[in-house]
Amino acid sequence: MRSLSIWLALSLSAIVCAVPAKDCAHKLKETVPPPRGWTKLRPAPADHTIELRIALPQPNFSVLEKHLYEVSDPFHERYGEHLSKEEVEALVAPHDESIHLVNEWLASHGIYEDDLSRSPAKDWVMVKVPVSLAEEMLKTEYHIWSHDASGNAIVRTTSYSIPEHLDEHIELVQPTTMFSRMKSLKSTVRFSDVEISSLAVNADQPPISVPSASGGKVDASCNETITITCIQQLYNAVGFTPSAKNGNQIGITGYLEQFANIADLQEFYADQRPDALNSTFKTILINGGLNNQTLSEAGAEADLDTQFAFGLTFPTPGTFFSTGGSPPFKPDVLTPDNSNEPYTEWLNFILKQENPPQTISTSYADDEQTVPVSFAKRVCEGFAQLGARGVSLMFSSGDGGVGDGDPDPATQECFTNDGRNVTRFVPLFPLPAHCEYGPKANQYIDLKLLHSVTGVGGTIHVPETAVFFSGGGFSDVVIPSSPYQNSAVSTFLDQLPAGTYEGLFNPNGRAIPDVSAQADLFKIFLSGEAILIGGTSAAAPTFSGIVSLLNSARLSQGLPPLGFLNPLIYAIHAATPSAFNDITVGNNPGCGTPGFNATKGWDPVTGVGTPNFGKLKDILTAL
């Protein structure tokens, strides 16, 4: 029967297009308005190389969604029964006829099997071609576009077409219409204005009483400087030692030539984690990524992430993934580097791994509205594959409050990018706002109601309050919100005075963040010097460190890792609210507004709150 269906498909394609595939009638696949904040400079050089990524449909993805929902639902009998790499790949594999018809189209342009690469499931085809050939294949014109604010430039088009008979066999082709400038959440790493040498803490100052903390107390110094000890005390994790031999791992992603310096790590360990001295992490280089160890090249983002994530979880094996790609395109260079989106390079790599880390933290993103919905959908389907395999993914929620990620209200651009230039709060991507899966269809972008990444907002000081830059709000792309967060989010919205920010946000959209953690005044070592630094880039690896400790506790008892967290988070919050420290003070201003307020229960500044490791461990090792 399968061979018959392929024969029928090929026969129909011959009827539809009885000429070489490259000469078939084309159909417009995607178009976007001229992107706000970008200027078209001139046609792209004909010999500029682009790696086209062609996404083939995943006809059985709904089955994968069902598995993801069941293994992630703590009330389901299959909770924790994660799928293998091979099982996941079988569920996302395209039909044979899609593979054949796309091969036929590529061959008509002189591109054969030896010229391309495929994802393990064959749902992505990657081929490097010059702009001139890409324009012929997609019936489009590429131009050099310059970003007005930064001066960065990329090669993109605002529309493209594919042969009509391939419309059901190709979901998208990129890079085409995506004008994202993936970066370290614009300014998510925030250097403190306080000189660390000027800090003077009275050694006799009594500890701060925090009932939920380890021993009910937190060192007074933690109001001026956050260290590993502060996190352990505040989140009730003092005394727990993870295993180095139970298979648990934690990973940190790095992009844009952010290098994690090992000498800085040793300085950090000497200062805050002496038992970890002379230990290090594994570095994996992806797509030409580097991790140069010259002190002057140490990256603030990379050092922050690795020092706190690996410091919190020592001796758990840690991995730093350094992914190359998407350097600023130089319009005056005749042979520029490839300008692809680097996040997909990492995602494709990690999906190929047999045993990826069970916990992975990321602190990079861009405005939601710069990312085509088709691309967001496919990235989220990649996240879903990892979630089904038992991987927990954390993303920092951004540092612009309800704004576009820019922590400076004077330079925030809080307008839609659809040609209307309407004032709007601006969520970020990639974040859980995009990645929705589950049993009910979301008609707006045909995603589902269960998402597979966790957004982490920020707090500050002891007792904790919301930090002003904590990104949060509601997606304009994913509607409606997730079923497991509906009750928590509805409670917040019901308490919001009628008309508040009407028209500035979508109250029916997926709400972020899910959780939060400390996000400012972190003491790290950068280029050999001690500095204070902050941002939700600090919150994400901190919360990830707590998740990794929980995974270690479970694995040591023969239990599976936590995997996709959000159904579990909201279920625990509903049943045992004290497992999270509720943050009720603070707000996240942006776009010329005070933003949202932190309130009792979930809020779009701090989510359900910060973790109480001790209580969570007791709950999760009994589950």
Catalytic residues: 301, 305, 537
Note whether 324 and 290 are within 8 A (CB): yes
* Residue 601 marked as a ligand binder: yes
Q: DSSP letters of 400-465?
A: STTSSS-S-GGG---B-SSSS--B----EESSTTT---SSSEETTTTEES----EEEEEEETTTTE
Name which of 152, 190, 166, 178 is nearest 52 in CA terms.
178
Name which of 284, 275, 320, 263 is nearest 524 in CA terms.
263
**What's the CA gap between 559 and 111, in Å, rounded?**
48
* Residue 400 marked as a ligand binder: no
195 Cβ neighbours under 8 A, 6+ residues apart: none
507 Cβ neighbours under 8 A, 6+ residues apart: 474, 493
Name which of 155, 206, 97 is nearest 339 in CA terms.
155
Backbone φ and ψ of 209, nearest 5°: -80, 120
What SS3 class is residue 15? helix
Question: What 8-state DSSP symbol labels residue 91?
Answer: H
What SS3 class is residue 377? helix
Enclosing H/E stretch for 42: strand 38-43
Note whether 222 and 462 are within 8 A (CB): yes
211 Cβ neighbours under 8 A, 6+ residues apart: none
Mapped to the 3 state alphabet, what secondary structure does 532-598 carry? EEECHHHHHHHHHHHHHHHHHHHHHCCCCCCCCCHHHHHHHHHHCHHHEECCCCCECCECCECCCEC
Note whether 365 and 429 are within 8 A (CB): yes
* Residue 595 marked as a ligand binder: no
**What's the CA gap between 415 and 245, in Å, rounded?**
50
List the binding residues for Ca(2+): 582-583, 601, 603
Binding annotation = 582-583, 601, 603
